Structure 1
């Protein structure tokens, strides 16, 4: 094959591959935006005591049938992101937060560190929380 034809073939191949690389980047950016949106929505639900709404972020097969009544005794007073969401594998992410809360019946301030694990569902294009709701100490 003449040299000019090889260059033309190479140029053609590169022209065809560049959009594929761009598509992957666009998909990754969208996946990151959806993760940010999910963690932000979850943060708001936990922060303002909307436990039913927070439960909707939990992976459906991990979701309890109903909330524990003990959550009614918890009022979250602070939610600080210690480590922003990081994609640790292709479809897995992790975020670490510190949550301060008051047990209403005792008016005692408590805190916990919540290591949240998130899983991307390609079928629904959603991120699901697989680590469950925070483990509030209620006793």
Structure 2
């Protein structure tokens, strides 16, 4: 037993060989928002830092511009109108907007799925 070295020393020896570049590669910064293009803001024609009143005004203008009744010859008018509505639903709700800004996710299905998996795990194994 006297010949065995301290595990802490072995750990430090192994990690001392890692370069700073490799450490940086392995580091994940959870404080940074996921990269996404903020498409919902583009749909309404507003900047990411738009106020709720600017978003509301932009929604009204965009919905009038793409409304199917105003564009009867456009076969994609319904889809465009739905996209504008979807953008407004997310961006007009403070919690949904924060989540979108952080993750780029539009719906809550991912969270619901996680909750269901946790419940299943708890029922099966706890």
TM-score over 0.5 for the pair:
no
Pick the TM interval, shorter chain: 0.3 to 0.5
Q: Which has the higher helix share?
A: 2
Q: Which has the higher strand share?
A: 1
Instruction: Compute the TM-score of the two structures, normalised by the length of structure 1.
Output: 0.30
Instruction: Compute the TM-score of the two structures, normalised by the length of structure 2.
Output: 0.32
- Rg (Cα) greater in structure: 2
